[in-house]
Amino acid sequence: MSKSTVKPAEGKLGVLVVGLGAVTTTFMTGVLMARKGLAKPVGSMTQYDRIRVGKGQDKKYLMYKDIVSMASLDDIVFGAWDVYPANAYESAINAEVLKEKDINPVKDELMAIKPMTAAFDKNYAKRLDGDNVKTVKNRWDMTEQLREDIRNFKKENGVDRCVVLWAASTEVYVPVNDNVHDTIEHLEAAMKADDVENIAPSMCYAYAALAEGCPFIMGAPNTTVDIPAMWELSEKTGMPIAGKDFKTGQTLVKSGFAPIIGTRMLGLSGWFSTNILGNRDGLVLDEPANFRTKEVSKLSTLESILVPEEQPDLYSNYYHKVRINYYPPRNDNKEGWDNIDIFGWMGYPMQIKINFLCRDSILAAPLCLDLVLLSDLAARAGRHGIQRFLSFFLKSPMHDYTKGEVPVNHLFQQYTMLKNAIREMGGYEADEEID
């Protein structure tokens, strides 16, 4: 093994979240409770997983923090932006994800997290009506104000490093525009010209984060960092970017279950997925233009795992459909149904049904923690640009589509990428192949 070249995780780590809703208040409450020894961070790879390093007699299974220098839960300082002025305690109570008895022990700390005014454009989320929003001249001014927020947050909280995490609503779908999204120069010109069609508010957050030396994570299916201009900016600023869309419920099942069909060489005729959910996410996705953004992200998973060109007998002609239905009584308790029509020996049909009654924010909170800690690690390791090793946590992993790159969606291949990256950063050999 060689020596790890990762800068040590010294001092405080600022975690600035866009959106102080169900996901982020569950994330914050869990971290604060875990710090006091009152809850367990179940579901978090960085807190529980062990990775093998070395082979033969040198083989050891170590936690991430024993391989690389990681920020601890005690180092984290939270901040947020939101269109609603409620503090993190009020938001956590309103979200009705956690019971009051699991929030109250950290009530004072949550009450101190008051959201900054959000950079918001109602055209991108028509169902939201908050008034805690910035008054801006144009998209460039919006970005400049966000940069100032980041600087102030760092100064006021004595924070050494900062990560920005988008966990706000899904925006209206923004197709990639080759004349606007191709270079930093064109992106900046469009921001200054207030091109509201091509520049989503989330792009202003991403630009501000990278320009202020903060890794940026896109937890919704927005186009935000999926554009060459942002890749260029992240290279220029030496900052990592990761996205997009937290892989929580149905897509997690799909990326883990599709490999069973593919590995066992069974055929697929169709895969129908439908969901019901009733939280703010569901409300926003009830708008067709916003659902379009989500649909693009959820549909891409299967096609790169069960590839028609590789096995035409098995996968040349399957039908894949994804639906999300807003259903208020469920609130954050999402239900996903998958009906999978497969065929086996001599083409005889069979069916698989999966019914996942999950809690969206309970699954998303540990992903937020892992993405934040691992993005901070990547920054200290000098890794910039797209962080493919974080694909494990995301529905539609970032990739360079301009070069025809196909993203890895297979859960166990993604896990291999994650382990190899941690090994490399820790000065060990990346010794697992993705077959």
At residue 126, the pLDDT reads 87
User: Rounded CA gap, 397 and 225, in Å?
Assistant: 11
- For 112-136, write each residue's pLDDT tens digit: 999 999 999 999 988 888 899 999 9
Note if the pTM is more than 0.85: yes
Digit-coded pLDDT (tens) for 396-417: 999 999 999 989 999 999 999 9
Cα 127 from Cα 307, distance rounded (Å): 37
Question: For 356-394, how does the pLDDT look when each residue is reduced to its tens digit (9 = 90+)?
Answer: 999 999 999 999 999 999 999 999 999 999 999 999 999
My answer on whether 29 and 99 are in the same domain is yes
Number of domains in the chain: 2
User: Average pLDDT of 16-39?
Assistant: 97
State the sign of the Cα–Cα–Cα–Cα dihedral 128, 129, 132, 138.
positive
Instruction: Tell me: pLDDT of 2 over 80.
Output: no
Rounded to whole angstroms, the Cα distance separating 378 from 385 reads: 10
Same domain, yes or no: 105 and 142: yes
- Res 40 pLDDT > 70: yes
| 98 plus 72 within the same structural domain | yes
Q: Looking at residue 208, what is its pLDDT? A: 98
User: Which tokens hold the place of 198?
Assistant: 């091509």
If asked whether residues 354 and 373 sit together in one domain, one would say no
pLDDT at 243 over 70: yes
Length of the chain: 435
CA distances from 416 to 363, 389, 413, 427, 434 (A): 21, 9, 5, 17, 7
Range of the domain at 383: 13-246+362-425
Residue that wins the pLDDT comparison between 126 and 435: 126
Say whether both 130 and 277 belong to one domain.
no
What mean pLDDT is predicted for residues 68-97?
97
Interval 308-348: pLDDT, tens: 999 999 999 999 999 988 899 988 888 999 999 999 999 99
End-of-domain residue from the set 334, 359, 384: 359
Mean pLDDT value of segment 100-122: 97
Neighbours of 78 (CB within 10 A): 22
Segment 274-305, tens digit of pLDDT: 999 887 777 777 777 777 776 766 667 888 89
| 3 belongs to a structural domain | no
The percentage of the chain sitting over the pLDDT mark of 70, rounded to a whole number, equals 98
